[in-house]
Amino acid sequence: MNRVPCMEAVVAVLESEGVDTVFGIPGAAILPLYAALRHSSIRHVTVRHEEGGTHAADGWARVTGNVGVCVGTSGPAGTNMITGLYTALADSVPIICVTGQAATAKLHQEAFQAVDIVEIAKPVTKWAVQLKEPAQAPWIFREAFRVARSGRPGPVLVDLPIDVQRGTCLYDRELDAPLPVPVPEPHPRAVRRACDMLAAAKRPLILAGGGVIIADACEELRELAEHLQVPVQVTLMGKGAFPEDHPLFAGMAGIQTQTRWGNAAFLESDLVLAVGARFGDRHTGDLDVYRRGRRFVHVDIEPAQIGKVFEPDLGVVGHARPVLAALLEEARRRTGPANPGKWVRRVGELRGTLLRRDDFDDVPIKPPRVFRELNEFYGRDTTFVTAIGLYQIWSGQFQATYLPRRYLVCGQAGPLGWEVPAAMGVKCAHPERQVVAVVGDYSFQFLMEEVAVAAQYRIPFVIVMINNEYLGLIRQAEIPYGMNYAVDLHYGEGGIDHVKAMEAFGCPARRVELPGDIRDALAWATETSASERLPVLVEVMVEREANAAMGPALDAIKEFEPLPELVAVDWSD
């Protein structure tokens, strides 16, 4: 073997693991790694904030299915990455954060920018480790990629003291390769029992969570649903796992990001086969309402997830793709393809009857109209990126998604500012795709400095801002708590001009105040972004007091008055 600088071995590992873009900020304590990157095929995008770098790596990872990488120096660089690590852990996104560190001999002496980032990061990572010896460098990184990908994917932090980075190691890239990642198969008896329960149910649903997308199991999901003629719902993280224009699509249940007819269908179901879903509280709401009258089969790659929120009637441990394939094989062994029955027709009836309006012509603009225009203007292959707030709730309620990895949302952690850097990561991964970031005015301001990065590197995408100038979700949340006296909310009074802010970054922007102008603005932004290779903003001024439909529980009956003919249904065969 050849003796090489250990950071050159690390970069060789990154290349062989399929990393083509790294997001980061150089600093004194990480310069040996940067020196090695200079002679590699890897593109480096210098971000303006380490949190932005983590979110960009996050977006790159979500859209590729590979492990994203971001780099920072010592001290505050690592602490700035914590929010991104938490976001990736919460949503099962594989990323590796690499931090520089003070020299090993100085770590106990309160040296400049020396902080125990490994201990800080442990609660928000699958693995946090400090490199102790140069000879470990390539192998620590191999294990970092394996850990990030295996089981329930997630983030890893690798801390690199400056003196260790300067060392050498024996390494030959021709003798090394990525470590294998196990794909757990389900127990055959558990598969047969799940099929027994599906066959015995009169009103079954399949609930596809984000795990179906992570496992690249969308084709197996569709084939199983079509063979059994079982309607499919998705969670917020599962949007795109099943095409929303498919006859078996049964909407989305929940207390915030949901469809009215999806809630109604869920409440009429008698069995739920949940695949790769974690039963988040914004999906389930009141567990008594959520569980009453139905049985649950919970499929998950992580054994500890089963029974974590509530005890299912059957737990099946396994990777979503082989589990769905095994269910399909067992179903085909038992019977031929089913015909749409009364339950499928019922779901179709609910879908046709309980839709929310999105055709408003009101001024100020009502938010549902914005999503109607987005749905009609952009094609099926468009990748949408959105974050947290009322605009996420409206997006979940109204936005149509047809393909996996085309709807990216920070679901559990919900950090403001995620969208712009994440969209940048998506576009770096797939330059050929149309990328649209749907943002709120307040969230945009959290990390809007990353617009400058996209402008500098000519990374084009469209930003659609839903602006109510109002901290809308916070004010809406105040109502049941009587909190108006508790906080002085002055946001929006004398706020910034987002059009001028974009122009200051050298990027075009346009403000829209009439619903009839939205379509033209989207066309202008899409054409301008592509031709000038820049991020372009369309700021849509919406009704200030617009609230999203929310409630204390997943209870469709509280949300709307069902028509009499939708209540009494004879389910006997």
Residues 372 and 329 in one domain: no
Q: Does 40 reside within a domain?
A: yes
Residues 141 and 74 in one domain: yes
Q: How far apart are CA 474 and CA 223, in angstroms?
A: 42
Residues 195 and 161 in one domain: no
Highest mean pLDDT among 412-421, 430-439, 461-470: 430-439
Q: Does 160 reside within a domain?
A: yes
pLDDT above 90 (res 549): no
Quick one: pLDDT at residue 390?
A: 83
Q: How far apart are CA 556 and CA 573, in angstroms?
A: 26
Residues 215 and 316 in one domain: yes
- In 10 A of CB 499, how many CB atoms? 17
Encoded amino acid at 400, one letter: A
State the average pLDDT over residues 217-244: 96
Structure tokens belonging to residue 535: 């991020």
User: Cα 212 to chain center, whole Å?
Assistant: 13
Instruction: Report residue 166: phi and psi, to 5°.
Output: -80, -5
For residues 99 and 82, is the Cβ–Cβ distance under 8 A?
Answer: no
Name the least confident of 54-58, 410-414, 489-493.
Answer: 489-493
Structure tokens belonging to residue 287: 């567990």
Say which CATH number the domain at 29 has.
3.40.50.970
Structural domains of the chain, count: 3
Q: Does 560 reside within a domain?
A: no
Q: How far apart are CA 143 and CA 130, in angstroms?
A: 13
Q: What global pTM score does this model have? A: 0.91
Q: How confident is the model at residue 492 (pLDDT cuts 50, 70, 90)?
A: low
Range of the domain at 281: 188-355
Q: Is the peptide bond before 26 cis (omega within 30 degrees of 0)?
A: no
Name the least confident of 22-26, 492-496, 558-562.
Answer: 558-562
For residues 522 and 377, is the Cβ–Cβ distance under 8 A?
Answer: yes
